[in-house]
Structure 1
């Protein structure tokens, strides 16, 4: 059995997917690479995938499907995965070679020791266009380094510090156990990917290496501010799905529950601030409707989200309140640089 399955969702990715695939290939025979061609029609993505599969038949699978969006491509990756662990790498991102070796060594060590690892976490780097000093998202302040730990061992996360798809390697069977099935034709489903499985995660391991290189800066990228505003209905949809997924009674571990609530606070803030930045009456009404949805779905959760610092910051009354919210967002984004 392969130690790691790496799924690479590709949609018209010919201009950059080779760099991603080549970086994943550095894992050698320990790795299975699943290139998912998500109905590409505008370039030769399908041909590139097939060429790599033919050249590296013991490592690479090329799977072609009708366009279903990023979430469906991840679903397809999980369905085809035979590795003990599972990692998603977007086709415009790549993996650091030295860190990759360390991750694989760690996964092999833990599997040989019969450790029941559910989730491995590593750092990721914002490879932002035009920025010389790259920002690294590490977790050494919040997690024990290179030792098995549970939710009880996790310390305080910073406001801008949370686990993304870039950070995680899941046990493949855990994703199947929790019946993860990301929605089709929807952007921002990576948030669901790192949210829904969490109540099933018991044993974790953190490797303090800069494993994942997260490219950011293309004008058409989903996290580009203008694109996020254009696709706000999809962000709202993901937000609502995550609210529906959260159940106080089902999340037994208090620290896991606390982390999931904080993640929802961030999601609500992002959706709300994008609607404020849209600066239309329709957008303002959508923001009100989103918060009403949360209240109707889960009053206890609504109170946790609405009456937090982040909840208050995006619900200041009137035009002047929205102006303050915008200023706060711009200041935070200047220092964090998340889009």
Structure 2
């Protein structure tokens, strides 16, 4: 690895917002930025993103910028490309409509010093906030122990988080690429990591998040229906991860619904709770019609 941290920014027609990521990098401690690479994967933009980044690369900066443009395939394919290309020991995603808080990099460097020799720790899970400073989700308990993201979610500490990964580990968990689908929920990968690793839990706010009107989550039901195999994979994994029967039943119903939306036997459920799936099929059928209606 040539750098300490790769800051990965996936982008698609975000020339009007990606400048905020750039500006937030310049507000960091410059003495640390020589150990940073900013890896931008452009997922087929047709705006002037490339020319903006080209101008930045011509400037004398304390960090390295690498720009990769690919045919539009969805954020998850940009993520796969970035993990392959990353030259940082750690990997931190900052979306093109988000930006770093002041001292974000300083806090990350300090926390990484505490986990370098902890092989069961995949990285850091920290907080995000809105532009007005309001937290997204709840802050963690003081002196919270190392934990998986899923366990934190079960305790009421879910929601969008800032995640820093060991690159050597995140490379082992690529997103599935489904023909005709342009979105895959990040939990498909993060849940797999949770089965084996924990995070250092931090109450530092590392990123500011501003949802866009044309963003991925602004039209969630059409997004889910159009990318139903990806959600089928997600619910299939969650059936086995569930810690209560009620939770497992909910995931089974949703799995059945998304399985009906698009047949794909490659990703059929193969776990030990097939009886639950069979019993919940009628409810899954009702959920299938609900999702179709919402679309």
- TM score, norm. by length of structure 2: 0.74
Taking a change above 3 Å as real, the CA distance of residues 204 and 259 of structure 1, as seen in their structure-2 partners, is farther
Q: How does 1:1-339 map to 2 (within 5 A)?
A: 1-25=2-26, 26=28, 28-41=33-46, 43-55=47-59, 56=61, 58-111=63-116, 114-116=117-119, 117-127=121-131, 134-141=134-141, 144-145=143-144, 149=146, 157-159=154-156, 161-162=157-158, 164=160, 166-178=161-173, 180-183=174-177, 185-201=181-197, 203-216=198-211, 218-224=212-218, 227-244=219-236, 248=240, 257-258=241-242, 289=260, 297-298=269-270, 300-301=272-273
Asked if 1 retains the 8 angstrom alpha-carbon contact of 2:7 and 2:92, the reply is yes
Taking a change above 3 Å as real, the CA distance of residues 173 and 261 of structure 1, as seen in their structure-2 partners, is farther
Q: What count of residue pairs does the alignment treat as equivalent? A: 277
The SS at the match of 2:88 is coil
Partners of 1:66 and 1:87 lie apart in 2 by: 23
Asked if 2 retains the 8 angstrom alpha-carbon contact of 1:120 and 1:169, the reply is yes
1:190-209 Cα offsets, whole Å, 9 max, x none, are 232322322232x4211111
Partners of 2:163 and 2:243 lie apart in 1 by: 15
Partners of 2:153 and 2:236 lie apart in 1 by: 26
Taking a change above 3 Å as real, the CA distance of residues 35 and 259 of structure 1, as seen in their structure-2 partners, is farther
* Deviation of 1:318 (Å): 8.1
* Deviation of 1:186 (Å): 1.8
Asked if 1 retains the 8 angstrom alpha-carbon contact of 2:232 and 2:258, the reply is no
Q: Pairwise CA RMSD of aligned residues?
A: 4.2
* Deviation of 1:302 (Å): 6.2
* Deviation of 1:125 (Å): 1.7
Partners of 1:108 and 1:318 lie apart in 2 by: 51
- TM score, norm. by length of structure 1: 0.66
Taking a change above 3 Å as real, the CA distance of residues 212 and 193 of structure 1, as seen in their structure-2 partners, is farther
Taking a change above 3 Å as real, the CA distance of residues 134 and 58 of structure 1, as seen in their structure-2 partners, is closer
The SS at the match of 1:91 is coil
* Deviation of 1:34 (Å): 0.0
Gaps of 5+ in 2: none
If each structure's helix is expressed as a fraction of its own residues, which one has the higher value? 1
Taking a change above 3 Å as real, the CA distance of residues 69 and 259 of structure 1, as seen in their structure-2 partners, is farther
* Deviation of 1:24 (Å): 3.6
Asked if 2 retains the 8 angstrom alpha-carbon contact of 1:34 and 1:81, the reply is yes
Partners of 2:45 and 2:158 lie apart in 1 by: 32
Taking a change above 3 Å as real, the CA distance of residues 109 and 298 of structure 1, as seen in their structure-2 partners, is closer
Taking a change above 3 Å as real, the CA distance of residues 4 and 163 of structure 1, as seen in their structure-2 partners, is farther
Taking a change above 3 Å as real, the CA distance of residues 264 and 77 of structure 1, as seen in their structure-2 partners, is farther
1:121-152 Cα offsets, whole Å, 9 max, x none, are 1011244xxxx6724324524x843x6x355x
Partners of 1:88 and 1:21 lie apart in 2 by: 14
